[in-house]
């Protein structure tokens, strides 16, 4: 494929040659001249539970049908799927590309507890960024879960999506007093939540903790089926999906963004959105976020577990935390034991020892023995100090957006990102864009 003549004129030395060696001038910002514009990493070790589930394959083209698009979305995980869904309106040409098979990045490793609860509790976040902003972030997160519920229902996606409650248990990091403050803070923000004291927790759930918060506006799903279904719907409405296709370089001019592919081709777009997950743009590596390691396991279908787990997902306010949920076919999916290391997840020894600890902690929490896990897996995982993601225009790069820094409620944040980025591309503002913008100092 050749860049169109008009495009080649505009970008001067940035031409499509098989070896693609851009020459850079000061007036044409380039963020990388290496072959690898986004951080490459293994996005999961061992085989995550969802890898064996049906309906996660999507037909993708091998090459784009043309070289100019209105929008190019880099990354075909849940973030790219939701962005494509929001951007494909029948008028814009939208191309989604991925260097992997679609939906085989972090989305495949996700335990997919879809929550409005941000990793940092509201009363604590308010102390970090102020009450008004913290309340807005939490309310926006709650609206995003409602919106995800509508999208899955409207598109008729079969992905085991189930609305659930969240039980946030007191632990060594957040005790019952902190949980009471949290419930108050949520009520002030207009978000429903009930404090459950130790006695009620024992009676209703058979759990031995000093307290908990029970809240609505959560869900669980098969994340790979969900992302694949949303991508399929975007393609049915006119988006193009190409895989494998790797973006290796980028250049912006006043009214276009030019992307180089690993094959040395050039694509141009009015806007580009990097939905590249924990393989974020290298130029954004200094932003205030980090990548840690996390572990998860899934028991076999039909695991004997308390009945209330069908309707509730569970978080423990402990460090390291533990979280668990059930799946529709009766598995228990349990995760946690995060370590502040970008690479620990790659160790097979750690995979075995972490799985043991997670299982033992879940058994202690539920007061019941669990069967041997059928799946254990590990993955890199993003965190920020405030739990808020980074979403918005990339500083210094006109018409380029990125969404990154997703932590424990990454799927909810992917929806917020789709809304904010599609509004910006459509020329409308978003009243909450400031909360997540790059360089706003909030994290």
Ligand X SMILES: Cc1cc2nc3c(=O)[nH]c(=O)nc-3n(C[C@H](O)[C@H](O)[C@H](O)COP(=O)(O)OP(=O)(O)OC[C@H]3O[C@@H](n4cnc5c(N)ncnc54)[C@H](O)[C@@H]3O)c2cc1C
Q: Which residues sit at the interface with ligand X, rule CB under 6 A?
A: 37-38, 43, 74-80, 97-100, 104-107, 109-114, 246-247, 275-277, 279, 294, 296, 335, 379, 381, 406, 408-412, 414
The residue (of 98 and 432) whose beta carbon lies closer to ligand X is 98
Smallest gap from residue 431 Cβ to ligand X (A):
23
Smallest gap from residue 367 Cβ to ligand X (A):
23
Number of neighbours of residue 155 by Cβ within 10 angstroms: 17
The residue (of 176 and 408) whose beta carbon lies closer to ligand X is 408
| String of DSSP letters for 128-154 | HH-HHHHHHHHHHHHHHHHHHHHHHHH
- The alpha helices in 343-409, defined as continuous H runs, are 348-366
Task: Give the pair of three-digit tokens for residue 312.
Answer: 């509730």
The residue (of 81 and 176) whose beta carbon lies closer to ligand X is 81
Smallest gap from residue 184 Cβ to ligand X (A):
25
Taking alpha carbons only, the member of 374, 225, 240, 367 closest to residue 303 is 374
Taking alpha carbons only, the member of 409, 411, 428, 425 closest to residue 80 is 411
Smallest gap from residue 106 Cβ to ligand X (A):
3
Residues 6+ apart with CB under 8 A from 196: 167, 204, 205, 211, 212, 213, 214
The residue (of 80 and 211) whose beta carbon lies closer to ligand X is 80
Smallest gap from residue 387 Cβ to ligand X (A):
12
The residue (of 218 and 253) whose beta carbon lies closer to ligand X is 218
Would you call 9 helix, strand, or coil by DSSP?
helix
The residue (of 116 and 176) whose beta carbon lies closer to ligand X is 116
CA atoms within 13 A on the CB side of 275: 36
The residue (of 38 and 88) whose beta carbon lies closer to ligand X is 38
Q: Which residues of 198-231 are buried (b: 16+ CB within 10 A; e: fewer)?
A: eeebeeebebebebbbbbebbbbbbbbbbbbbbb
Smallest gap from residue 277 Cβ to ligand X (A):
2
Q: Which residue is nearest to ligand X (CB)?
A: 410
Smallest gap from residue 289 Cβ to ligand X (A):
12
CA–CA separation, 42 and 106 (whole Å): 9
The position carrying tokens 């040409």 is 93
């Amino acid at each position: 494929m050749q860049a169109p003549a008009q495009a080649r004129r505009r970008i001067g030395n940035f031409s499509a040659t098989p070896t693609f060696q851009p020459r850079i001038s000061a007036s044409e910002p380039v963020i990388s001249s290496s072959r690898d514009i986004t951080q490459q990493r293994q996005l999961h070790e061992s085989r995550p539970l969802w890898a064996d589930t049906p309906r996660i394959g999507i037909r993708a083209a091998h090459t784009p049908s043309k070289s100019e698009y209105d929008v190019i979305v880099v990354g075909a995980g849940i973030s790219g799927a939701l962005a494509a869904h929001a951007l494909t309106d029948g008028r814009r040409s939208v191309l989604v590309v991925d260097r992997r098979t679609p939906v085989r990045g972090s989305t495949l490793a996700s335990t997919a507890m879809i929550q409005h609860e941000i990793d940092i509790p509201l009363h604590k976040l308010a102390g970090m960024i102020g009450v008004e902003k913290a309340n807005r972030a939490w309310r926006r997160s709650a609206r995003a879960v409602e919106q995800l519920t509508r999208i899955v229902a409207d598109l008729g996606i079969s992905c085991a999506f189930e609305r659930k409650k969240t039980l946030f248990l007191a632990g060594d990091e957040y005790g019952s007093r902190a949980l009471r403050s949290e419930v108050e803070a949520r009520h002030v923000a207009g978000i429903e939540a009930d404090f459950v004291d130790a006695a009620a927790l024992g009676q209703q759930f058979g759990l031995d903790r000093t307290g908990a918060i029970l809240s609505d506006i959560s869900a669980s799903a098969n994340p790979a089926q969900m992302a694949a279904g949303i991508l399929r719907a975007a393609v049915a409405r006119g988006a193009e999906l190409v895989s494998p296709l790797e973006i290796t370089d980028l250049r912006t001019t006043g009214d276009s963004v030019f992307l180089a592919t690993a094959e040395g081709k050039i694509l141009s777009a009015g806007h580009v959105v990097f939905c590249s997950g924990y393989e974020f743009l290298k130029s954004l590596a200094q932003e205030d976020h980090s990548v840690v390691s996390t572990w998860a396991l899934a028991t076999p279908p039909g695991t004997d577990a308390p009945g209330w787990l069908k309707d509730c997902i569970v978080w423990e306010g402990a460090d390291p935390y533990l979280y668990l949920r059930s799946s529709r076919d009766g598995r228990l999916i349990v995760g946690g034991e995060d370590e502040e290391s970008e690479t620990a997840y790659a160790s097979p020894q750690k995979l075995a020892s972490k799985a043991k600890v997670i299982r033992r902690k879940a058994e202690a929490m539920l007061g019941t023995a669990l069967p041997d896990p059928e799946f254990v897996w590990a993955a890199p995982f993003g965190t920020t100090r405030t739990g808020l993601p980074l979403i918005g225009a990339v500083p210094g790069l006109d018409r380029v957006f990125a969404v990154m820094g997703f932590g424990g409620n990454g799927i909810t944040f992917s929806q917020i990102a789709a809304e904010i980025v599609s509004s910006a591309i459509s020329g409308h503002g978003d009243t909450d864009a400031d909360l997540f913008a790059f360089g706003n100092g909030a994290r």
